[in-house]
Every structure is written in structure tokens, then in C-alpha cells.
Structure 1
Amino acid sequence: MKTQPGSDVLLQCHSPTDADIKLVKWTKPDLKSESYVIFFREERMYDDAQHPSFKNRVELKDQQMKGGDISVILKNVTMNDAGTYECYVGYRGKPELMTSIYLKVEDSDSRPVKVKPGDDVTLPCRGSRAANIIVLKWIRPDLKSEGFVYFFRDEHSYKSYQHPSFHSRVELRDSEMKDGDVSVILRNVSIIDAGTYECHVGYGSSPELISSINLKVEDVDSQELTVRPGDDVPLHCRGPRDGDVIMLSWIRPDLRSEGFVFFVREKRSYEKYQLPSFHGRVELRDPEMKDGDFTVILKNVSVDDAGTYECHVGKSNTGSSKTHTPEHMSIVYLKVEDSGPTAGNIRVGGDKEVGVVVALWVSVVAALLFVAFGCFYLIKKRPAVQQIITYQQITHV
């Protein structure tokens, strides 16, 4: 049987309709505990015999068990509920195994969630709708460092327990967590946010894994651009929208030489740090870099400009002028195609050189016509010349 986290699932079990049921117990052998999923004896339910993880989550489908129906409803399924469930019924002697069910919990949220740098993304997670949530923690197990993505306990969130890279970027989608909604919103996603996110919820006991999400950050600017010599081309890059960006650098790693394509620090560009070939040819599309727009315009492209361009952004630490290690935000593969004089001179958007090209073609055509006419004239006159020469030769002799 398959289900998803947060769902209610019916575990079916029936006994002979005419039997006098004295005892019903549902067990989960892989719990390796003496506690039960549910325990009923002599018309009474024993909550103290129930495993803590099933409290307030399991009930008989029919309290009167009419027709021998001893199915149970398991509410708000979690990942930890996956496993084998066994139904036993006792009449007067030893309880008999009536059915065995294997429950498979497939988290639909475990599939990759794809976003782009600069986006806000919701990481969905739903806990029990009825139980009081005491602890909520979102973690990144692949970070291998201390600190949570988000931590909540006893009606308070704790920023001091967060990993520094998530400060001021994560919040509950519903601050009241109504209906067990413990989803969080991660803002201003960057390349380094890609990875696995786990949601754990505690109701008084150890927090349980509820949801696992694989976040994939796909950079829309990781693309190949094809242009022609002389074109102006935008190299796209988008990063954090907040105002703590104090450094921007565009580089050409394939050049293997010192210097930048473009360099900005504290809202000031530095031409002296640029590679000489880019002097006077690169500028920000938006000088104010509003909404995290770090796109630059490369002007008057030449064949030598073909290659790889990377955008890196450095943010300041809170309350400090020092920057974090610059993050790789974007990569652009620039291809410059020069298919001849026409491709090099006639460009999208118009150009003064169009007139020069037209004039050149007119001159070529005129020259060809002139040569053709001359040849035709000589051919027409050739017999008369031969006659004169022959006559002179004869006269001379």
C-alpha cells in the first residue's frame, strides 16, 4: 500500500462476522517495541499501551466493529510510519493474525524542486493537524556543518541556532502553522543553496522526519550566446535582491591571465583591475543593480571575445565591512561567428557601414559590366583590323 506524508490511510482488517471479538491489536514489528499501534480489549481502548508516535493518530474505522470490521485509520502519515502492520484478533483464546500490510510512504516532495538564482522558493512540509507542535527543525544534512536552516521550539524561532547563510532568508509560510503546515519560504536562492532539505517535527517526543526535498538551483544565465563581430551583447547575471552586496566581478577563466572583465566594489567600478582588451567596452545594464541585476553589456564584440564568462557576487557580513567568499552566480558561454564581410558589417539594429557595403557591391558590378563591354567591342572590331594589317603587309611587299 502506498501513501504520502500528511495523508490519512485506511489499514483494512476483517474477522468472521459472527465472532465474539474480545481483543484487537495492531502491531508494527519493525518498531522493536512492546507498545502497540492500537490495543482494544473487552470493549475498551488502552491508550497507555500505545506507542507514543501513534497517540491521537489511530482510531477504529467503526467503533462498534459491525460485520467484523476491525480496520483502523492512521492519520497524518509521516515518513517514519512506513513499514509492516499486523492485525490480530482474539475471541477467547490466543489472538490470531488476520492480516499483514506493508505501508510504503512516498514523499512527493522528495523529487527535485527546480528554481533559479534570486527566486523565493517554498519548501513544503505538513505535520499533524491535531497534535501540538513543540519542535520544528529544517536541516541541510549535506552541509556537514553546525546550524539549522530553521529552528522553532515552544512557539519561538531561534535565529541563533541557524546556519549563518540562512539568516534573515527563511520564514514560516504560515506563522500559526494551521492544519500542521510547517512549510518554510527560502528567499533569494543562490547556487550554493542547492542540496537536500529535511523537515523534522516533534510533538513532545523525538522529532520525526516528515519531508525530504532535493532543491536544484538552475542558473538561467548558464547558457550559450551566439553573436556577430561588432554586436553589443548582455551577459546576464542575477543575484541577491537585498542591499548588502559590496563586490561584483566578471571574469574570463579560460584566459588564464590576471585581471577582470569588469570589477565593482562598494558601488564603484575599477578600470585599473580590468583586462586591457575590455577597457571602455563593459558597463552595468543597471548602474544601481536594482533587484539583484548584475548583468553587464559587452560592446563591439570581436572574435577574440569568444569564451567563458563568470559572474561572482560578494556580500557583506552583518555589521561588518568584510565580505563573504564571492558566490558563483552565473556562467555565460559566448560564441562569436564571423561568416564573412557581410556578416561582419551588416548587423541587427542597423549600421552606418551598410551604405559602404552597398557602394562596394555597386562598384564591383560596374567594373564587371565595363570589362564585359570592352571584350564585346574588341571581338566586333577584330576582323577589320586583320584586313588592314594584311593589306599593309601586301603593299609593303
Structure 2
Amino acid sequence: MNPLLTASLWALLSAACFFQAASTDQRTIKITAELGKNIILPCRAHGNRSIIAVEWSRVDLGSEYILVYKHDRIDPQSQRCYFKNGVALQERKITDGDVSLVLKNVRTDDRGTYQCRIAKEKLVHTVQLDVAPPPPDLFASWAVALLVFLGLSSIALLLYHFRHYYLSEYRVVVDSKEESILLPCKTRPLLPADARVEWIDGSNTKVHVYENGSDQLEEQYCLYRTRTKMNKDPLRTGDLSLTLRHPTDGDSWTYSCSVYSREGSILMEKQIHLHVKVHQVVVKEGAEYVQLPFITTPGLPGDAEVIWLDKESRIAHVYKNGSDQPGEQHDFYRRRNKTKMNNDPLRTGDLSLTLKRPTMRDCGEYGCSVTKDLYVLRVKKVQLIVKAGTAQSRTNQRTSGPEASPLIDVI
């Protein structure tokens, strides 16, 4: 063989081996995901061998894990709460060494550096994930042309009438004194019967889940239990709206309604911005009492604890173990015997607080929380406004009996 040709072949072979070795040593993969889509973070064991255990983590989360696989199953106890039901292995039964991670419904907060550690391997597989905004929506330019053609007034009326179907974001404002509110979410009818509907709040907490033809109440966070309801057969009708009972200012969130296929890909997502206004109660100074209302669902756990705090975070009233706890009140309220709650409030759901003989010093925001085993079951705020009374009203208050008018105006 020609010596020059031989030398050239050896040079090419050496270069190929060099690039193969370089690719083998490459430990960091950069991936860009589209907002709201699913993405696969690749990781594979050397030699396609069987896997004993694998750990997926993210650098900025410290010692918390995204997913831990061992003993032929995913360990939910080791998983960070944010990622539960949001990640999965690409292959449920790992037979060929593929332990790639599927990250569902990618959000901006998912941006970061992910690491995959496989048992008995020293190599750490690193994936740098960036999240790009979705491609520009062509609907805007089309809408402008349509507005010019049909006229601004007529198209505005059409969009308003069908807003629940076509707008991906919607805003709802309601007063906390309302019995219930509707978070609207309507889409095309005849969605796949095996699809999954998830309502989540701004902290990625599950508000309501519908799957397999029924509500999945066991997946709800305790704050929403017994408070949510969806219409019957929502996948067939396309009406995925959610009714939320007894709204409070603590429910002011951006809620997301998402529909997933059986394979986990997202079919539809809409957001509803809910603002629940703080309830205001106005009373004239000199009234015998004023009630700070808090009506919620009945049948709360009997061992829950109800705490009312004033604007200075002083304990105004405590109810637990079936009775009031005056010993835990601040002196300002205990010495004046100033507060009272109705009998059996946890059973009835009426957690209202009666404040006796309100004065200008009592003005401000009061907050009530219901907790059990460190879980917050209900929260509410009430703004109390005490207006200056006349000298005559103060005289009437001193001389009137217990049936005197409370002079209360609830807004």
C-alpha cells in the first residue's frame, strides 16, 4: 500500500478515536425546553446494564431529590413535593439502562442544572435546562385584521360572549362574603375519555383532580377538601369550570386548569387570576358588639385549632379541644372579656368572632386560621372599621340593655 495513503488512514482513524473519546467524556448536556411542554432529560448507564438505583437532583435544591428509583420502583418518600406527579422515568421498567427523566408541563421555575447519579457509577450525568417562551401567537395579528373587517364593537361583543372558550387567561374578582365562586374554563367538547384534568393553585398545589370518570378527592390538598366541585361529564361537554365554596382572601391565586392525555402530554391549559377582596365590617363606636364573620364548610376536624389574631398579631381568641382557651388570649382581650365565638364552631363551620364594645382602638385587620397537625385548613381576613359615635349614642350604649341595636353596617 502507498506509504502516504497508509499515513493518511492512520491520521483519520486517530482523529475519529479522539472525537469518540471526547464525546464519551462529555458530561454536560444543554437542553432548551418550551414553556408548557414536556421535555426528556437524557441519562443512560454504560453498557446498557440493569439498574439497581438512580437519583435525579437539581443543584440549587441542595439535598432534596427530584426522583429516586430503587428496588424496581420510584420512592415517593424521597421526592420533593413540588415534583410529585410532575416527573416520571421515560421507561417505567428499566431494562436497557435508560433512566432518562420526563419533566412534565415545563415552567419557568424548572430552569436549572439537573444531575443523574446511577448506582455503582462514578460518572455524574449533568443536564443544563433552559426554558424558552412559547412561539409567538399568530392569533393577535389575525384578530387585528378581523377587527378592521367586522368593526371594533361587534368583535368585542363576540369575544366577551365566548371569552371562556378562547382566552387562555381570565380574571375573576369577588368579595369574600360570597357563598361560592366559579373559576371558568371551557374548551372544545369530546376530549379523550381517558384524559386527566388538574386544577392547581399558584404554589403548584392540587386544588381538584378529575380522572377515570370521577373526582380524585384523595389527591386534593387539605385546604380545598369539601370546597370544590366540577360539573358532570366535563370531558364530554368541554366545561371544566370549577366551583370554589366559601372563598376567602387566602384563595387569591393564579389557578391553572390543565388537561393531560394518557401519555402525559398536555392537551389544553388555561389560567384564571382570582382576587378575593378582604371583607369589611363597619360599626359605630358605642355599639354593644360587632361580629367579624367567617362562614366556611361544616364538619371540620374536631381536634383542629382556631386562632383569631388582631392587626398587631396579638391573640384575640383561641378555640381548641372543644372549648375556648381564654388563658392563651392576650391580656388586652382576656381582662376585658372582649371576645366570644358560637358553640361548636368546627361542626357548624361558623367561625365568626364577636367583639364586644368596639372602640377606635379596635380598628384594623383581623385574621383567622384553622390548623391541624401543622396543616392550614382554612384562613380568612376581616377589616374592621370603627367610626366615631356621637355623645348621644355613647350615652344610649351605657344605658341600654342587652337587646340594644349593635349599629353595624357590613360592606
Normalised to the residue count of structure 2, the TM-score between the two structures is 0.49
Q: Partner residue of 2:333? A: 278
Cα pair distance change 1:323/1:239, threshold 3 Å: farther
Instruction: Give the one of 279, 284, 308 matched to 2:364.
Output: 308
The corresponding residue for 1:299 is: 356
C-alpha deviation, 1:247, in angstroms: 1.9
Shift of 1:226: 3.4
Q: C-alpha separation between the residues in 1 aligned to 2:317 and 2:178? A: 21
Q: Alpha carbons of 1:345 and 1:351: their partners in 2 closer, same or farther (altered >3 Å)?
A: farther
Residue pairs, 1:52-131, within 5 angstroms: 83=138, 106-107=166-167, 110-116=170-176, 119-131=179-191
Q: Are residues 1:213 and 2:272 paired?
A: yes
For 1:107, the aligned partner's letter is L
**Preserved CA contact (<8 Å) 1:174 1:182:** no
CA contact (8 A) 1:309 1:333 kept: yes
Q: Indicate the SS of the match to 1:192.
A: helix
Give the AA of the match of 1:239. T
Distance apart, 1:329 and its partner CA: 0.8
In structure 1, give the amino acid aligned to 2:277. Answer: E
What amino acid does structure 1 have at the position aligned with 2:327? K
Q: Is the 8 A contact 2:246 2:295 kept in 1?
A: no
CA distance in 2, matches of 1:198, 1:312: 27
Change (3 A) 1:337 1:198: same
The separation in 2 between residues aligned to 1:331 and 1:156, in whole angstroms, is: 36
Question: Which residue of 1 is the match for residue 78 of structure 2?
Answer: none
2:152 matched to 1:152? Answer: no
Query: 2:308–2:367: 8 Å Cα contact kept in structure 1?
Result: yes
SS of 1:344's partner is helix
TM-score between both structures, scaled by the size of structure 1: 0.50
Cα distance, 1:157 vs structure 2: 4.4
SS where residue 223 of structure 2 aligns? helix
List gaps (5 residues or longer) in structure 1: 1-79, 87-99, 317-321, 353-397
The CA deviation at 1:264 is 1.1
**TM-fit CA distance, 1:345:** 0.7
User: Do the aligned residues in 2 keep the contact of 1:127 with 1:210 (CA within 8 Å)?
Assistant: no
Structure 1 CA distance for aligned equivalents of residues 344 and 283 of structure 2: 27
Seen in structure 2, the aligned counterparts of structure 1 residues 178 and 113 have a Cα distance that, compared at 3 Å, is farther
Shift of 1:262: 1.9
Check the 8 A contact 1:250/1:260 in 2, yes or no: yes
Query: Are 2:192 and 2:235, in contact at CA under 8 Å, matched by a contact in 1?
Result: no
Matched, 1:183 2:233: no
Distance 2:399 2:137 in 1: 62
- Give the distance between the partners of 1:182 and 1:241, measured in 2 at CA: 26
8 A contact 1:122–1:184 mirrored in 2: yes
Q: Indicate the structure (1 or 2) with the bigger Cα radius of gyration.
A: 1
Give me the whole-angstrom Cα distance separating, in 1, the residues matched to 2:261 and 2:328: 57
Give the residue type in structure 2 aligned to 1:324.
Y
CA offset at residue 331 of structure 1?
Answer: 2.2
Query: SS of 1:253's equivalent?
Result: coil
The aligned length equals 247
Against the structure 1 CA distance between its residues 128 and 286, is the aligned structure 2 distance closer, same or farther, given a 3 Å change threshold? same
Instruction: Tell me, in whole angstroms, the C-alpha distance in 2 between the residues paired with 1:139 and 1:153.
Output: 12
Q: Verify: 1:247 aligned to 2:302, yes or no.
A: no
Tell me how far apart the structure 1 counterparts of residues 384 and 140 of structure 2 sit (CA, whole Å).
55
- Number of the residue aligned with 1:269: 324
Shift in Å, 1:285: 5.3
CA positional deviation for 1:268 = 0.8
Q: Measure, in 2, the Cα distance between the counterparts of 1:150 and 1:123.
A: 12
DSSP 3-state at the match of 1:346? helix
The alignment yields a C-alpha RMSD, in angstroms, of 4.1
Does the Cα contact within 8 Å between 1:110 and 1:214 map onto a contact in 2? yes
Q: Distance in 1 between matches of 2:236 and 2:140?
A: 30
In 1: Cα distance, 2:363 partner to 2:236 partner? 52
Residues 285 and 387 of structure 2 are in contact (CA less than 8 Å); yes or no, is this contact kept in structure 1?
yes
- Deviation at 1:314? 1.4
Aligned to 2:11: none
Tell me if structure 1 keeps the 8 A contact 2:169–2:270. yes
Specify the code of the residue in structure 2 equivalent to 1:345. T
Name which of 367, 391, 396 aligns with 1:346: 396
Task: Return 5+ residue gaps in structure 2 as ranges.
Answer: 1-134, 148-154, 403-411
Instruction: Give the superposition deviation at 1:293.
Output: 2.0
**CA 1:133 to 1:203, structure 2 compared with 1: closer, same or farther past 3 Å?**
farther
Comparing 200-209 with 180-189, which one deviates more in the overlay? 200-209
> Displacement, 1:163?
4.0
Q: Which residue of 1 aligns with 2:231?
A: 173
Q: Does 1:333 align with 2:384?
A: yes
SS of structure 2 residue aligned to 1:151: strand
Q: Equivalent pairs: percent with the same residue? A: 13
Deviation of 1:110 (Å) = 0.6
Q: Distance in 2 between matches of 1:230 and 1:167?
A: 37
Aligned: 1:195 with 2:253: yes
User: AA paired with 1:276?
Assistant: D
Note if contact 1:137-1:148 (Cα within 8 Å) is conserved in structure 2.
Answer: no
1:236 equivalent in structure 2: 293
Deviation at 1:333, TM superposition (A): 2.5
